Chain A
Amino acid sequence: MDKRHTGLFVLRMVMMTVIALLVIFPVYWMIMSSFRTQEEIFKYSKLGWELFFPVQPTLDNYKAIFTDPSKPFGRYMANTLFVAVVVTAAGLLVNSLAAFAFAKLRFPFKKVLLVVFLSSLVIPYEVIMIPQYLLIGELGWMNMYKALIVPQIVWVFGIFMLIQFFTDIPRDILEAGRMDGAGWMRIYYKIVLPAAVPALITLGLMTFLNQWDSFLWPLVVINEEKKQVVQVAISSFQSLRNISWGKVLAATTISSVPILGIFLILQKYYVQGITMSGVKG
Chain B
Amino acid sequence: MNLLSLGVLRKRGSFVKGFKSGVYDKQETRAAFLFIMPALLLLVVFIFYPMTRALLISLENYNLISGSSSPAGLDNYKQLMSDGVFWASLGHSFYFAAVVIPLQTMIALGLALLVRRTFRGVGIFRTVYFLPVVVSFAIASTIFKLIYNKDYGMLNVILKGLGLPVADFLSNPDIAMIGIIILCIWKAMGFFMIVFLAGLNNIPDSLYEAAHVDGAGPVQQFIRVTLPLLKRTTAFVVIITTMDALKIFVPVYITTSGGPAQSTSTIVHYIYETAFKQMNMGYASAAAFILFGIVLLISVVQLRIFRTDVEY
Q: Do any CB atoms of chain A lie under 8 A from CB atoms of chain B in the complex? A: yes
Which residue of B has the minimal Cβ distance to A275? B201
**Residues A121-136 near B (CB distance < 8 A):** 121-128, 130-132, 134-135
A49: CB under 8 A from chain B?
Answer: no
Among candidates B25, B143, B285, residue contacting A30 with C-beta atoms closer than 8 Å: B143
| Surface stretch bound by A, among B97-105, B168-176, B268-276 | B268-276
- Which residues of chain A are within 8 angstroms of B138 by Cβ–Cβ distance? 213, 215, 231, 235
Given contacts A107-B28, A111-B312, contact A126 B249 (CB under 8 A): yes
| Chain A proximity of B179: nearest CB distance (Å) | 13
Say whether B51 contacts A128, CB under 8 Å.
Answer: yes
A274 to B4, CA, bound (A): 34
Among candidates A15, A123, A267, residue contacting B288 with C-beta atoms closer than 8 Å: A123
Task: Bin chain A's interface residue count.
Answer: 35 or more
A190: CB under 8 A from chain B?
Answer: no
A contact patch SS? helix
| Chain A proximity of B123: nearest CB distance (Å) | 5
**Chain A 137-160 against B: per-residue CB contact (8 Å), 1 yes, 0 no?**
000000000000011011011011
Given contacts A105-B32, A126-B272, contact A111 B154 (CB under 8 A): no
Among candidates B50, B126, B157, residue contacting A128 with C-beta atoms closer than 8 Å: B50
A220 to B41, CA, bound (A): 24
- Which residues of chain B are within 8 angstroms of A134 by Cβ–Cβ distance? 50, 53
Say whether B268 contacts A112, CB under 8 Å.
Answer: no
- Which residues of chain A are within 8 angstroms of B288 by Cβ–Cβ distance? 123-124, 126-127
Task: Bin chain B's interface residue count.
Answer: 35 or more
A191: CB under 8 A from chain B?
Answer: no
**Residues B149-184 near A (CB distance < 8 A):** 149, 151-152, 154, 157-158, 160-162
Among candidates B1, B45, B125, B247, residue contacting A16 with C-beta atoms closer than 8 Å: B125
Say whether B126 contacts A272, CB under 8 Å.
Answer: yes
A199 to B191, CA, bound (A): 12
A179: CB under 8 A from chain B?
Answer: no
Say whether A109 contacts B31, CB under 8 Å.
Answer: no
Among candidates B5, B134, B160, B312, residue contacting A110 with C-beta atoms closer than 8 Å: B312
A275 to B114, CA, bound (A): 13
- Which residues of chain A are within 8 angstroms of B118 by Cβ–Cβ distance? 275
| Chain B proximity of A202: nearest CB distance (Å) | 7
Say whether B4 contacts A27, CB under 8 Å.
Answer: no
| Chain A proximity of B114: nearest CB distance (Å) | 6
- Which residues of chain A are within 8 angstroms of B303 by Cβ–Cβ distance? 115, 118
Say whether A151 contacts B42, CB under 8 Å.
Answer: yes
Which residue of B has the minimal Cβ distance to A151? B46
Say whether A274 contacts B198, CB under 8 Å.
Answer: yes
| Chain A proximity of B59: nearest CB distance (Å) | 14
Cβ contacts A to B, 25 pairs, < 8 Å: A12-B114, A23-B128, A23-B131, A30-B139, A95-B39, A97-B35, A97-B36, A98-B35, A101-B36, A103-B312, A106-B32, A115-B7, A117-B39, A119-B4, A126-B288, A128-B47, A128-B53, A130-B57, A150-B46, A154-B46, A161-B195, A185-B31, A213-B137, A271-B127, A272-B126
What 15 new A-B contacts, CB under 8 Å, besides A24-B131, A154-B42, A274-B201?
A: A27-B132, A29-B154, A47-B160, A105-B29, A118-B299, A120-B43, A131-B54, A153-B42, A156-B43, A161-B236, A164-B195, A184-B31, A202-B194, A252-B143, A277-B198
